[in-house]
Chain A
Amino acid sequence: QQPVQSPQAVILREGEDAVINCSSSKALYSVHWYRQKHGEAPVFLMILLKGGEQKGHEKISASFNEKKQQSSLYLTASQLSYSGTYFCGTENAAGNKLTFGGGTRVLVKP
């Protein structure tokens, strides 16, 4: 089942903060975050595993609430390079299927 992302789009000024949320109705093994720029491949940002382990980008932070099946990605002091579409992927409880959300479009303006 596809996770739900919110908001669908956000516009920021350089230096501002934003939060992107990802919610699933089922128990999860992990949450994956990717950023995709137009015409390019999705680029891996971070994995959050049940139990609290995180693997990923030092400058990107995220949280994973296993009980609520929710994850949030925090864009802090945004830079122009943060513009793109952010996708969360939720891995089912068995850890054998990854399903992506519809994406959140982020535009950072000077």
Chain B
Amino acid sequence: EAGVAQSPRYKIIEKRQSVAFWCNPISGHATLYWYQQILGQGPKLLIQFQNNGVVDDSQLPKDRFSAERLKGVDSTLKIQPAKLEDSAVYLCASSSRWGGGNTIYFGEGSWLTVV
């Protein structure tokens, strides 16, 4: 079974530029998550989708971050304009359904460096 796919793996941009990350979850998984992991810290949830609807985006900096999951399958996370503090690994994850002790499977992440 294929895992969670993410691209690009690495990206270096200058501050105030924009960047987009793509994620394809495990086939059949209804729930998709985007996490931000700053070096040395645990993953922090940015946004959670159930099919193509947002169920939690309380920690998403909406003035610069946006995410969509059209057709309820793959998803894109965009940052515009980027700040230095956005340097982090952006982890996409998926689970078969939302909550209730379901296992979340992570992709390998997209490493962003903002200079």
Contact = CB atoms under 8 A, between A and B. Distances in A.
Contacts, number: 59
B42 A40 contact: no
Interface string B37-56: 00011111100000000011
A41 B99 CA distance: 20
A41 B56 contact: no
B90 to A, nearest CB: 12
A88 B109 CA distance: 19
A30 B103 CA distance: 11
A55 B103 contact: yes
Contacts of B104: 32, 44, 89, 98
A103 B102 CA distance: 21
Chain B residues touching A, majority SS = loop
Contacts of A102: 41-42
A95 B99 contact: yes
Interface string A91-106: 1001111111111000
Interface of B: 4, 35, 40-45, 55-56, 91, 98-101, 103-109
Interface of A: 2, 29-30, 32, 34, 40-44, 47, 49, 53, 55, 87, 89, 91, 94-103
Closest 3 CB pairs of A and B: A100-B42, A41-B106, A96-B99
